[in-house]
Amino acid sequence: MNQLDELSRTLIFEGRRLEPVSLEHNIVGFCSKCDMDLESLAYHTTESNWLVCAHCKNEHLILMRYDRQWNWQGDYDLEICKEKVNVSSIAKEKLEAVFTQAEIRDMLACQQGLPYTRQNLYRARAKYEKFETLFGIKIDV
């Protein structure tokens, strides 16, 4: 699956990380799912292609592929991926809403390379998805 980083707009395409060459917002076509206008999010380039990441007002995402002369080559699925955040940079109140004190302590210890209790880290990892759903933050430990 092709992925677009939510913040940096870096594209993961065919296993490669591509930095955007432009973040211009242009109308680039029509959504095949709902017929709404597609607006560009980012433009990327490879040796032989232009890649345009776009979305409609209904948040359908698409990756449009063109050759170097801007001849359309096809549309591909695209998903937004959220950048992972270190535990130490997350507000304590948010962490406490999902994790126990022991889990928070051991997530921080693991991140810093200090000794930690593995069971607390396992319990915390089981809650990562819930935390991401609640706060839109993906944790990196």
Per-residue pLDDT of the chain (141 residues; tens, 9 = 90+): 899 988 889 999 988 889 999 999 999 999 999 999 999 999 999 999 999 999 999 989 999 999 999 999 999 999 988 767 789 889 999 999 999 999 999 999 999 999 999 999 999 999 998 988 887 788 876
Global model pTM greater than 0.75: no
Same domain (yes/no): 76, 126: no
Same domain (yes/no): 58, 110: no
Same domain (yes/no): 66, 90: no
Same domain (yes/no): 110, 72: no
Structural domain range at position 92: 84-140
Q: Determine the Cα–Cα distance for residues 11 and 3; give it in Å rounded to an integer.
A: 6
Q: Determine the Cα–Cα distance for residues 89 and 82; give it in Å rounded to an integer.
A: 15
3-state helix, strand, coil in the chain (%, to 5): 25, 40, 35
Helix (H, G, I), strand (E, B) or coil at 136: coil
Question: What is the spatial order of strands in the sheet that 49-55 belongs to?
Answer: 27-30, 37-45, 49-55, 61-67, 72-76
Same domain (yes/no): 108, 133: yes
Same domain (yes/no): 28, 71: yes
Same domain (yes/no): 77, 126: no
Same domain (yes/no): 89, 74: no
CB 120 within 8 A of CB 105: yes
Same domain (yes/no): 99, 123: yes
Same domain (yes/no): 17, 61: yes
Same domain (yes/no): 65, 97: no
DSSP 12-54: EETTEEE--SB----EEEE-TTT-PEEEEEEEEE-SSEEEEEE
Number of domains present in the structure of the chain:
2
Same domain (yes/no): 27, 66: yes
